Structure 1
Amino acid sequence: MQLVIAAVGHKMPAWIEAGFTEYSKRMPPEIRIHLKEIKPVERSGSKTAETAMALERSRIEAALPKGARIIALDERGRDLTSVQLSQYLTQWQQDGRDVALVIGGADGLDAQFKAGAEMLIRISSLTLPHGMVRVILAEQLYRAWSITQNHPYHRV
């Protein structure tokens, strides 16, 4: 199984790339984290947020592995604890399908895309920079894995 973080946005600062790389390289070979950056749609002139999100939806769908479980990140999504995420990670591993965790662009994710996702989750009630969400998500996936392994990284 692979975990794909599909994130709208590109050309992140070096500290974002370093943070993401740090946590993704800690993952074991059987559940690697892969990042797929999706170029955002520039909003100019007559392009509304809805138009931009619909165009980004097409780019996102093209980047996702076929048959993957789609988990969309959304401010109205389910608020999970790290332990709950570890339980989902265990279920996902048993299922064997790839998992795509999708981070939208500045305007969020298209409503149709979110409706087709298997789950909506929220990283924080705070508004975070999209690049930082990549780092936090990678860290939480590593933490979830460490919980499943009784690794001391996660302390109660």
Structure 2
Amino acid sequence: MKLLIVAVGQRMPAWAQTAYDDYAKRFPPELKVELKAVKTEPRGSKSLDTLYAAERSRIEAALPRGIRIVVLDERGSALTTVALAGRLKQWQLSGDDVALVIGGPDGLDPEFRRCAHESIRLSDLTLPHAMARVLLIEQLYRAWSVNASHPYHRE
């Protein structure tokens, strides 16, 4: 199974890239994680609909056909780590690859969010984009560790 993280925004602070890379290399070979960063649409005087459309087009171009789409959204389902581990196990058992999509500064196109298979949120707090990437990969690793009875996660 492959987890594909599609994130709008290409510039990550060095600390965030280092943290992301550290967690990404921890995953076992049977659970590959890949990051595809897509360009943020320059804001300027463009309408929100124009921004959404441009970023949605880039996101969709990064998504392989037939992949399960899970959007990260402030209105999504709140999950505990154990619940995320359960989701990860379900995704693995289904045999589908999963794309977790992080929107840009203005979020994701509303229609794209509606068409996604699932919507989850990382926190009730507003997070900087770089922090969201790091938190997501850490929680995915933690979810894997729960399922594998690895000592990383303790309750």
TM-score, with structure 2 as normaliser? 0.98
**2: CA distance, partners of 1:65 / 1:135:** 23
Whether the aligned pair in 2 keeps the contact of 1:65 and 1:98 (CA below 8 Å) is no
Q: Which structure 2 residues correspond to residues 81-120 of structure 1 after superposition, within 5 A?
A: 81-120=80-119
**Which residue pairs with 1:41 in the alignment?**
41
Structure 2 residue matching 1:144: 3-state secondary structure: helix
SS in 1 for 2:146: helix
Amino acid at match of 2:103: G
Q: How many residues align?
A: 155
1:126 and 1:50 map into 2 onto residues whose CA distance is 25
The AA in structure 2 aligned to 1:151 is H
Aligned to 2:65: 66
Q: Give the drift of 1:55.
A: 1.1
Query: How far apart are the structure 2 equivalents of 1:134 and 1:11?
Result: 12
1:146: which partner in 2? 145
Once superposed, what is the RMSD of the aligned Cα atoms?
0.7
- Distance in 1 of aligned mates of 2:118 and 2:70: 5
Report sequence identity in percent: 57
Q: Structure 1: which 5+ residue stretches go unaligned?
A: none
The gaps in structure 2 that reach 5 residues or longer are: none
Other-structure match for 1:6: 6
Give the CA deviation at 1:11.
Answer: 1.6
Letter in 1 for 2:27: M
Partner of 1:20: 20
Q: Which runs of at least 4 in structure 1 moved beyond 2 Å after TM superposition? A: none
Question: Equivalents in 2 of 1:124, 1:49: separation in Å?
Answer: 24
Q: Report the CA distance between 1:90 and its aligned residue.
A: 0.6
1:78 matched residue in structure 2: 77
Q: CA deviation at 1:50?
A: 2.2
Q: TM-score, normalised by structure 1?
A: 0.97
Name the SS of the counterpart of 1:87 in structure 2. Answer: helix
- Partner deviation per Cα, 1:90-145 (whole Å, 9 max, x = no partner): 11111111100000000000011001101110001111111111100000000000
Q: Counterpart amino acid of 1:116?
A: C
